[in-house]
Amino acid sequence: MRKEFRSLLPLDEARAIVLSHLPAVGVETVPLNSAFGRVLAERIVSEVDVPGFDRASMDGYAIMASTCLDAREDRPVSLRLAGSVPMGAASEVDVGWGQAVEVSTGSMMPSGADSVVMIEHAVAEGDQVQIMKPVHTGENVISSGSDIMFGDVVLLPGTRLGAREVGVLAAVGKIQVRVRSLRVGIASTGNELVEPGKTLGPGQIYDINSYSIAAAALECGATPLVYGILPDDHQTMAETLLRISKECDMILVSGSTSAGAGDMVYVVLDDIGETIFHGINLKPGKPTIFGTIASKPILGLPGYPTSALTVFGQLAAPAIRKALGLKITGHRITGRLARPIRTEGRHQLLAVSVHGDLVYSVDKGSGSITTLSQADGVIEIPSSVEYMEHGLAVDVQLFGEYVEPDLIVAGENCPFLEMLAESLPLQIRFTSNGSKRGTFSVEDGIADVACVSGTEKIGIPDGIVLIRGYTRELGLMGNNFSDLSGQRDVSIVGWSGDSEMKWLANRELKDLGFDLEEVRYVGRARSHSAVAAAVAFGRANFGFGASVAAEKAGLGFKKLTSDRIDFLTAVSSLEKEGMHALISALKTWSLRHGLPVGISMDADAGSVVRQSR
């Protein structure tokens, strides 16, 4: 008996129904080479420094910068060539006064050297090297841990693993990773279908949909399991669909969904499951069917390949992406420059990040892994262009499927803020660039919110509002605090110069009686978790940071001071969904979760004011 489509659902209504019956998502561990396209299910904390040693960023000669301060093309400084450093090996020679060691891009810096003279600015003559241009300390050198520091949180749960994220995972030594798992069972129906590679008989065609729909599901982040071709036979189809419902989280079947005499899917679904709707007001896609089998959602797609892909994009893809926590747009977008760019006068692909319609450079050099983790794509700049002005329209070639963050948070790092972020069903991107630069980022429109320590020193620019936050305890993390003020040769984890923590740490250490000139600083941290990790693993005696980070690392803590964490955002950003979620979390966290050690929420946390305290 033929079935008549008496009532066709509008597409929006059909989509709402599908999205209200999302498949359950699990977690599985996969090898790194299988992680591309998957959705991260764990926080990734670096267990290594990247790079793990000081290395040369240019081919040339490693020297002491102070030996060549007077070098000129017409008055070169002659240095003795003491040897060379092979790639992938430690240096067996040291650089002394008046010496140079040949290095290659990426090779380990020899002991005693603090800079590299590019090979273009030097001439080797036997055992002598003529240096024709001075360099400053640190020039053409990538310091150990300058890219990613031991203990840094590099990726958060919910991150879609593209090429750059897989690169970040490899850079920190991950060989396997926990990802969200959504198994989608895929089958095509029809007696006329034949698997590709086999010989076609009269009236037969190759099965297209099993492969195209599987590829589309994979592109969305799911794990497709292809069950092949189901004949138009009630018992066989029913048995196979029941098996798929046991082995998978979602079922996609194409063909046999219309009202013809031989169409079988809707009959089988009525018998072994529940039909929720059959027929939508969409061309192509009218015979689409949706229901459940054993509480697993099943979507019946039209048989024509173009129709099947069209309906998949409208109904299945949003359901898969939402279940996995993804928001996806296309692979190429147009935006406008948030800041002017001065180029090198040569053909260039510049790494950029995208925020709304604003595009801004995040390029830190081709060797930087953090450039990869922050970049959404590249813009192509012809060699004839030397300057690109603010507001210029640019075409962004995305690295892959673009995930528009719900919030971009700049400013100070804070472990409690990371805890807040992990509790929210949002895509959040963090940029730890300090209070002042974070404020500038909000002013320029390339960040939604700035996490700020000490707003009274920064002030609130026009068009920006303050959201009240919390107070956190700051102090020294360590394992042995006995006779602290009398210790000699003390090593302390350093902070990046952008962070307010560097100034606070120096102030408190000085008050404790430390001679800052004699303190040995280890690294330049950008996060409190990196400080705690460095101390916990014996890289430094002490670190200055938040007590919540010390507790998570199992370290002792000596409170020295506290600071206020408030948030700055543009008035125009207050209506964003992500801002609503952050403000709500600030207001309700202590009621729902309890506060971690060293955190005191303001009574009016989450309230919006227009001036600093």
Which of the four pLDDT bands, split at 50, 70 and 90, describes residue 612? very low
* pLDDT at residue 6, rounded to an integer: 52
Position 2 scores a pLDDT of 47
Q: Does residue 226 sit in the same domain as residue 174?
A: no
Same domain, 480 and 563: yes
Asked whether residue 5 is assigned to any structural domain, the reply reads: no
State mean pLDDT over 400-409.
81
Amino acid letter, residue 552: K
Residue 223: give its domain's CATH number: 3.40.980.10
pTM attached to this predicted model: 0.71
**Residue 611 within a domain:** yes
* Other beta carbons within 10 Å of 518: 9
Same domain for 437 and 565?
yes
* 25: pLDDT strictly greater than 80: yes
For the stretch 34-37, contacts whose Cβ atoms lie closer than 8 Å and that sit 24 or more positions apart, written own/partner, are: 35/161, 35/166, 35/169, 35/177, 35/179, 36/161, 36/162, 36/163, 36/166, 37/160, 37/161, 37/162, 37/218, 37/219, 37/221
Instruction: Tell me whether residue 330 is in a domain.
Output: no
pLDDT beyond 70 at 269: yes
Looking at the chain, the whole-number percentage of residues with pLDDT higher than 90 is 62
Q: Is residue 2 part of a domain?
A: no
SS (H, E, C) 220-264: CCCEEEEEEEECCCHHHHHHHHHHHHHHCCEEEEECCCCCCCCCC
Q: Is residue 232 over pLDDT 80?
A: yes
Residue 404 placed within a domain: no
Report the CATH number at residue 160.
3.90.105.10
CB 567 within 8 A of CB 466: yes
Q: What is the mean pLDDT of residues 51-70?
A: 95
CB atoms within 10 A of CB 118: 16
441 and 569 part of one domain: yes
- CA atoms of 327 and 323, how far apart (whole Å): 10
One domain, residues 227 and 318: yes
Residue 331 lies in a domain: no
Q: Residue 294, exposed/middle/buried by CB under 10 A (0-12, 13-18, 19+)?
A: middle
Q: Stretch 225-246: mean pLDDT, rounded?
A: 93
Verify that 505 and 609 share a domain, yes or no. Answer: yes
Q: What is the pLDDT of residue 291?
A: 96
Structural domain ending residue among the three candidates 352, 368, 398: 398
Using the predicted structure, report yes or no on whether residue 609 has a pLDDT greater than 60: yes
Question: How far is the CA of 471 from the CAs of 122, 555, 602, in angstroms?
Answer: 54, 21, 7
**283 with 329: CB under 8 angstroms?**
no
Residues 45 and 59 in one domain: no
pLDDT of residue 331: 65
Tokens of 24: 């359950």
- pLDDT surpassing 50 at residue 578: yes
Residues 536, 438 within the same domain: yes
Residue 372: pLDDT over 70: no
State which of 63-67, 203-207, 265-269, 310-314 shows the largest mean pLDDT.
Answer: 63-67
Q: Work out how many domains the chain is built from and give that number.
A: 5
Rounded to a whole number, what is the distance in angstroms from the first to the last CA of the chain?
Answer: 75
Residue 345 inside a domain? The answer is: yes
Are residues 473 and 510 both part of a single domain? yes
Same domain (yes/no): 298, 252: yes
Mean pLDDT of 274-279: 94
Average pLDDT over residues 309-315: 82
Given a cut of 80, is residue 606 above it in pLDDT?
A: yes
CATH number of the domain within which 384 lies: 2.40.340.10
Domain that holds residue 210: 11-25+182-324
CATH code, domain carrying 475: 3.40.190.290
Q: Are residues 464 and 555 in the same domain?
A: yes
Pick 286 or 506 by higher pLDDT.
Answer: 506
Residue 557 lies in a domain: yes
| pLDDT band at 346; cut points 50, 70, 90 | low
Residues 211 and 159 in one domain: no
